[in-house]
A and B are shown apart, each in its own frame.
Chain A
Amino acid sequence: MLAFSPYISSFIDQIIVSIPYFKPELTLIITFIGTIIASLFVDKYWDKASFTITIAGLLLSGCYLLGQGLSHVEMVGFFDMIHIDTFATSARVIILLSTLLITIFIQQRYQHDRPLGDLYAVVLTATLGLNLLTMSSNWLMIFIAVETVSISSYIMVGYFSSNKVQSEAAMKYVLFGSICAAVMLYGLSLLYGFTGNLNFDAPSHIAGLMEAPRLMISIALLFLLTGIGFKLSFFPFHVWSPDVYQGAPTVITTYLATVPKIAVVVLLSKLLAAWLAVSFYFSDFLAYVIIIIAIATMLIGNLAALRQQDAKRMMAYSSIGHTGILLMAVLVYQNNESNVLLFYLSIYALMNIAVFIFIDSLEVSLGNTSIDSYKGLGKQSPLLFTSFSIVLIALIGLPPTAGFVGKLLIFSKVFEQYQNFQSFGLLALLIVGALTSVISLFYYFKIPLNAFLRDNVDHYSVKSNPLLLGIGLFCTIAVILLGLFPDILLSLF
């Protein structure tokens, strides 16, 4: 301890210098505390207090982020713990905007049911963890961020626990998630042992990985992928996601399906860009494992979705399939070429938020999420089902929607890489990716098929919340517009 005392003042100086880089996250932390206080003391008098504070905090954090984004400077702070570059800033803007939409979704959906102040607070901590995940290249920081996101997500899934299914989903989620986190921690301890350094892009870290014994480094990397795989829900760690997506309240499912994936994809692409730059046993091993995982994820997600009768469960498998495509994009990601990945992530968020808003408004009216119950509803609520069908077309990846542009950009990037390296793995990825897009046609079209072409004897009236329907329509229009003019978004990143 005495050895450190001469340096303490310089440490404190560096921390003070780093604080301005951390403004968006500090805003989230202060908002978190404000929301808790408001939910304890102010919500009794004005029931929208915690919601208003949450929205204001998210907007303020967004303003600071825009400031960082416009300055285009790479910043390193807190002793290399956070690295802020344009990739991280754009990803954080997408995370923040999606969180904003989902917060409004939560408020509109449960406004008359029960106090929600704590739920907003937990959403804010999850967002804080995701922000940290996009910025850091230090394993300690990453582990803390992953656990922050995980613990907040467990609470979100179990928050209502109003029936059997919701509590079951929460318990499965927490058990599976904690096991994956523990395995990842063991993998991280092995990596630390090989390298003596916790920064994954530091030269000494990569040098240590090159010299590590082959068997041990393979085990350590597989253990590491367990934790990342749980958050991304790729094969073989996808088994929790259909149960949790189906069991959790639809608003929470929306959050789980969109936002965490954005941050973890950013982390994984930074990791692979740092490690695959060298060609040694560990990087080749990692590349092959990721290729195999991506192929298996696309096949399993899309084939299992064919058999589903429940819209939320089907969307869970569909998002597993999309994870496979994101893994393809992650594999060919190189530094400073993040626009393809960010484009796909932002339209992925738009499409998922729209689909879950539509599923939720149908769930409110029908009382369940089974696809069979959508029979004949297309004529009664044409606006909802037309936009629902458009978003599903975007999820398949058909023109003229943004889903097509996103897939096209990723596929052409992979093909470019294939022409450069002639690697068989990349060709297999392309073939499986194209094939599974065709398969996905069959299960997504079940919804418009039931809604428009089949008749129903019972007549329900679908009443939608106008603001939520507005958000859904906005996302749908954005998906079409970005399909016609992708440059609007691509030029921003």
Chain B
Amino acid sequence: MITLTHFLVVSACIFCIGLYTVLSKKNAIMILVGIELMINAAILNFVAFGKYDKVSYGGQIFALFAIVLAAAAVAVGLALVLNVYRHYKTINPDEINELKDK
């Protein structure tokens, strides 16, 4: 029997993996992948909780909108990363540091 707790544990694990990816990777695309993992963890939560909300299906609707918005944000993100590559010839955020406190 798979209960709500199982879903929540899995989604917490996915969120942590995503956060770790975001903080540790040296590649902007991998950071975008990590962001996607974090968003999917939240979506899993929404769908799992939505089981108990049979009146308005808020969780399911939220999950659908979140998927669409995540895709839109990642599309813009990839375009901007490509732009950075044209100027810097690298997408390692550590090496892209012209803007900083002097």
Q: Spell out A's residues near B (CB within 8 Å).
A: 139-140, 143-144, 147, 150-151, 154-155, 158, 161, 163-165, 167-172, 174-175, 177-179, 181-183, 185-186, 188-190, 192-193, 196-198, 242-243, 246-247, 304, 307-309, 313
A1 to B42, CA, bound (A): 25
- B79 proximal to A (CB < 8 A): yes
Q: Measured between C-beta atoms, what is the minimum distance from A306 to chain B in Å?
A: 12
- State whether B102 touches A168 (Cβ < 8 A): no
Q: Spell out B's residues near A (CB within 8 Å).
A: 8, 11, 15, 18, 22, 28, 31-32, 35, 38-39, 41-43, 45-46, 48-49, 52-53, 58-59, 61-62, 65-66, 69-70, 72-74, 76-77, 79-81, 83-84, 86-88, 93, 96-102
- In the complex, number of A-B residue pairs with CB atoms less than 8 Å apart: 144
A-B contact pairs, 10 of them (CB 8 A): A147-B72, A158-B76, A167-B86, A168-B88, A171-B81, A171-B84, A174-B73, A182-B38, A193-B45, A193-B48
- State whether B49 touches A143 (Cβ < 8 A): no
A188 to B62, CA, bound (A): 10
A340 to B53, CA, bound (A): 40
Interface centre among B72, B74, B80 (most CB of A within 10 A): B80
Q: Measured between C-beta atoms, what is the minimum distance from B17 to chain A in Å?
A: 12
Q: A168-B96, A182-B35, A192-B62 are in contact. List 10 more A-B contacts (CB 8 A).
A: A140-B61, A147-B72, A164-B87, A170-B80, A172-B93, A179-B31, A182-B70, A186-B15, A196-B52, A308-B101
Instruction: Provide the residues of chain B in CB contact with A172, threshold 8 Å.
Output: 93, 96, 99
Instruction: Provide the residues of chain B in CB contact with A196, threshold 8 Å.
Output: 49, 52-53, 58
- State whether B42 touches A197 (Cβ < 8 A): no
- State whether B84 touches A189 (Cβ < 8 A): no
A181 to B32, CA, bound (A): 12
- State whether A189 touches B42 (Cβ < 8 A): yes
A9 to B22, CA, bound (A): 46
Given A186-B41, A196-B49: A140 touches B99 (CB 8 Å cut-off):
no
- State whether B49 touches A189 (Cβ < 8 A): yes
Candidates B15, B46, B66, B76; contact of A154 at CB < 8 Å:
B76
Instruction: Provide the residues of chain B in CB contact with A181, threshold 8 Å.
Output: 39, 73
Instruction: Provide the residues of chain A in CB contact with B35, threshold 8 Å.
Output: 175, 178-179, 182
Candidates A151, A165, A193, A242; contact of B73 at CB < 8 Å:
A151
